Structure 1
Amino acid sequence: MGAHDKLVMGEKLHSHRIGDGTGTTGNGIDLSGIKCSISPWTYFKGAIAHCMVWGGLQLGALSPVVTLATYQLLGPRCAVLFLAFAILSVLAPSRHSPAFCRFYLGSAACVGGSTVWVPDKILQLLQGRGYLVCFHPHGILPLGFSFNGALRVKAEAPEQFLPASFNFPKDCNGVQAPVLWRVPFFAPALRMWDACTPATKGNMKKLLAAKAAFGIIPGGSEDVAIHEHGKENVYINSRYGFIKYALQHGYSLILAYTFGENDQFYSLSCLRPLNLWLVKRFGFVLPIFWGKTFFPLLPRGGGLNTIYGRVIHLPTIHDPTFEDLVKWHALYVEELKSMFDEYKVKFGFGDRAGLVVSPGGAMRCGDEVFGVAEGALRSFIESSRWFAALIPRGLSGVEMSSLPTVSLTLAAAMDFGRVVHGDVVVIQAGAGGTGCAALAALRRCGALPMATAKKQCFLRVRCGVQNVSSTRSGQTFLLDFFENLPPRCLGASFMVNSLTHDDFIPRGLSILAPGGRAVELGKLRVWSVQAVNRFREDILYATMLLGRCH
């Protein structure tokens, strides 16, 4: 049997940052210095490196269009010359250049610095062989994969990009889409990096047979197709290939997530269906994206933080069945979500409260505020005034810092539920933060709340809820609900659900009155809208995450 390891909170995190012109190494879990100060000269050099590499990718992808435009504007000779130069860039031999790797890593200044975070347990594993680092998400450009992976080892003077304590294998590698090696003006960069291999079946088997340590981006081109700025979209549900190869060779999977990857560029999400079709039919994607206003190819910045947060040790199964693939793929997805939930507050958005030290808008220095902010555990943060509010008199920052996410979730759920006086409303897991807030809101609007909770006495005594059932048994919940249902009532008007075990989803949907509404707050094993429509066509259903409801 395989096993999976989780980082225990308080375990030391080793970190190393590039992009500030020096390189910074740190230990511990103090995240106050995630963002670095970058000089204009360092940023300028990084911008040149970024545009040379990724501008070459864009120029190469558009080379047919550029050839036609050159023919129309400058004549056939210039068009033939450009086309010959493009073909030569693909066919001409080039070899590994540590100096070029060093030059490219300087472009981390464009994103505001790039930091890799590794806990003790995983750091020891990274110094060996026979593991596969799975990077998420891809983003528009795989910046986290390139900055915080094998390229640090391949660069000139690697000790500046990776301290001795990390000690990654010198022959570590990565795999990328084979089509990239046929893109003019970008293929030479890949060969000079010598940190990537075309992701063909043969190359994968060679790396696995040699027990090499290498990285992949499981989401691939589909990740690019579903990219949305500011949203953490990951394409993983139908990816079984890397699981199969890892099982056949008994590899360990290291899950790595780059926070800030999807914030570097904007893209046209309306082209998602077209891009998904292109990937399925032709294996490539043509996103339309932009970063900085004054130069769209440059990323917007804000910093990248790649956390190597989970390990899954797979058994060796030479001929895995489909059931084996589904089992281990499900564990992988669950661990990926768990890792994201654990670190999203540290590196993404989270609840916070504090004092204004540099005011903007209507706020003043010294004002006590609460809200949602990026990197909420840092000592100093930058936040838009739209994500902050003044703390009311008589309340402390400790109390208010627990409310933003709960309140936003509740507001979105109640807006969908359209609860009015006299409605019967079911709140699953009512003793949680969102549950308690929902029960208080329901009392104010005159609705009749019915809840489930492990702490049933707490809800009855402290929250004043009379009808409380168990979260352990779905059958007990059904019996208690119908026993306490008011006379001549056809069922609940609204349900907020977060329980997925013991058939709580179908049982909860069955108690809704015709025209009832249900919001799903859970993330694992939830039902899709299509599945609910097949179960009951006379109700409205939505799954909700903070920042998205569909």
Structure 2
Amino acid sequence: METLQKQWLEAVCAHVHGFIFLFVGLFSFLLDLSLLSTPLWSLSVLCLAWLFPDWDKPRQGGCWKGAHVVSHGSWVPPRPFPPLSLYPKLVKTAELPPDRNYVFGSHPHGIMGIGTFCNFSTKSTSFSQQFPGPSVITLDGLFHLPVYRDYFMSTGLCSVKHQSLDFILSQPQLGKAIVIVVGGAQESLYALPGEHHLILKNHKGFTRLVLRHGASLVPVYSFGENDIYRHKVFATDSWQYLWQTIIKKLLGFAPCIFWGRSLFSANSWVLLPFPVPITTVVGHPVLVPQCLHPTNEEVDPYHTLYMKALEQLRSTRKL
């Protein structure tokens, strides 16, 4: 009975995360607009007014990080019981001294980035006890939506804007870390079970950022991330793929058709992930010197070193 209760609790948390990820942003935006034409219009005005004094917070290290809503025991259930895989297993391969700043490149994006979310935005794998406290970077546009932005900031998430990244890495106290899902929304379109398709070779902005601040690059790979959901992938010459890329350019995210399973059936189209373990491996840091205005020729060697370090994670977890 106790095990069943824990399974139900995990199922509820998985669905809550999926619901928030997919629907709450749009719902909060539409609700705020609809209230303007009701007697409760003042609530909508107050929500919108709050945006102005609080506008730059997501670009200044976020806010309310001390609260860290999702790290509280009331949000995260106990360690997973079969058949769920809500939490990843964290594998540490190297020490990261606190006398440097770090940029973690997290791969792959997957459908909803469960590995990145659980490791870096919750305390489910005790990441902050083993590594410098991270700030997870996400789309700047998410912080323009009332209520939705406040939820994200309460988890310690920050904007991906350059001023946000520079603000965190420019603090006088060392030991800062930011987590960037390098492949971004484009990578989610290739999140197929059993495949490891990364959008990385031409994504060099994070390497340039590291050079400007003299931080260290740390490769991170969540094995199993692409296996917890089934995903419909369209041909690149299809109208569906064209629609996905247009939405991605306009809104910053790519709409995907995916499904999971229910607690009782593997064939139900719901948000519960399939029972595949996620193993998140944190690799050895790539030391990078500081160069305030790096050229392409200076960026390329360190980007290549990073890709090689990421490739070496294969020996830690057999694909």
Residue identity matched to 1:310: H
| In 1, Cα distance between equivalents of 2:100 and 2:177 | 5
| In 1, Cα distance between equivalents of 2:226 and 2:109 | 8
CA contact (8 A) 1:59 1:185 kept: no
1:275 equivalent in structure 2: 244
Is 2:137 the partner of 1:175? yes
When normalised by structure 1's length, the TM-score is 0.46
Cα shift at 1:114: 1.7
| In 2, Cα distance between equivalents of 1:201 and 1:284 | 19
Q: How does 1:133-172 map to 2 (within 5 A)?
A: 133-152=104-123, 161-162=125-126, 166-169=129-132, 171-172=133-134
1:230 equivalent in structure 2: 194
| In 2, Cα distance between equivalents of 1:129 and 1:78 | 49
Cα shift at 1:242: 0.7
Change (3 A) 1:107 1:222: farther
Cα shift at 1:246: 0.3
Change (3 A) 1:298 1:88: farther
1:255 equivalent in structure 2: 219
Cα shift at 1:56: 2.1
2:160 to 192, 196, 199: 199
2:316 equivalent in structure 1: 343
Residue identity matched to 2:181: I
Helix, strand or coil: the match of 1:239? coil
CA contact (8 A) 2:191 2:226 kept: yes
Q: How does 1:291-306 map to 2 (within 5 A)?
A: 291-292=260-261, 293-294=267-268, 296-306=270-280
Aligned residues: 287
For the pair shown, the structure with the greater C-alpha radius of gyration is: 1
Cα shift at 1:235: 0.9
CA contact (8 A) 1:131 1:252 kept: yes
CA contact (8 A) 1:89 1:187 kept: no
CA contact (8 A) 1:43 1:107 kept: no
Cα shift at 1:79: 9.3
| In 1, Cα distance between equivalents of 2:39 and 2:107 | 40
| In 2, Cα distance between equivalents of 1:316 and 1:308 | 23
Cα shift at 1:220: 1.3
Unpaired runs of 5+ residues, structure 2, are 55-62, 235-239, 262-266
CA contact (8 A) 1:138 1:217 kept: yes
Change (3 A) 1:233 1:307: same
Helix, strand or coil: the match of 2:284? strand
1:322-358 CA distances to partner (integer Å, 9 max, x unpaired)?
1112222222223222323x2342xx4xxxxxxxxxx
Q: How does 1:82-481 map to 2 (within 5 A)?
A: 95-96=64-65, 97-98=67-68, 100-102=70-72, 103-106=74-77, 109=80, 110-111=84-85, 113-119=87-93, 122=94, 124-125=95-96, 127-152=98-123, 161-162=125-126, 166-169=129-132, 171-183=133-145, 186-194=148-156, 196-210=157-171, 211=174, 212-270=176-234, 271-292=240-261, 293-294=267-268, 296-340=270-314, 342-345=315-318, 348=319
Identity %: 20
Q: Relative contact order, CA 8 A, sep 6+: which one is greater?
A: 2
2:58 equivalent in structure 1: none
1:149-176 CA distances to partner (integer Å, 9 max, x unpaired)?
2532xxxxxxx85289x4434x532211
1:385-409 CA distances to partner (integer Å, 9 max, x unpaired)?
xxxxxxxxxxxxxxxxxxxxxxxxx
When normalised by structure 2's length, the TM-score is 0.76
Change (3 A) 1:65 1:179: closer
Change (3 A) 1:61 1:150: closer
| In 2, Cα distance between equivalents of 1:284 and 1:205 | 23
Bigger fraction of residues in strand:
1
Change (3 A) 1:247 1:282: same
Change (3 A) 1:266 1:163: closer
| In 2, Cα distance between equivalents of 1:300 and 1:86 | 39
Is 2:21 the partner of 1:57? yes
Cα shift at 1:178: 1.1
Helix, strand or coil: the match of 1:310? coil
| In 2, Cα distance between equivalents of 1:64 and 1:190 | 13
CA contact (8 A) 2:86 2:273 kept: no
1:48 equivalent in structure 2: 12
CA contact (8 A) 2:28 2:146 kept: no
Cα shift at 1:241: 0.8
1:359-412 CA distances to partner (integer Å, 9 max, x unpaired)?
xxxxxxxxxxxxxxxxxxxxxxxxxxxxxxxxxxxxxxxxxxxxxxxxxxxxxx
Change (3 A) 1:98 1:64: closer
| In 2, Cα distance between equivalents of 1:88 and 1:295 | 38
